[in-house]
Amino acid sequence: MCPNSKRDVEYNMKAAIWARVSITEQETENQLSNLEAWATAKNLEVVETYSINESAYAVHNEMR
């Protein structure tokens, strides 16, 4: 492998996770665990996690 290849470089980046669900039957917990596992596999440090439980449809209609 070439020494300057991107695969040879170890990245230590920070990341934030944004999880959102739009209906009451859904939960952000499964999204969070999957996203945290993905971040770990990519060598990302999760520094903040955001979770929102709201419908974009409901918010849009309130603005009218």
The CA distance from 15 to 21, in Å, is: 20
Q: Confidence band (pLDDT; 50, 70, 90) for 62?
A: low
The CA distance from 11 to 13, in Å, is: 6
pLDDT for residue 38 is more than 90: yes
- In the prediction, which pLDDT does 39 show? 94
- Our separate counts of H helices and E strands in the chain read 2, 2
Q: What is the pTM of this model?
A: 0.59
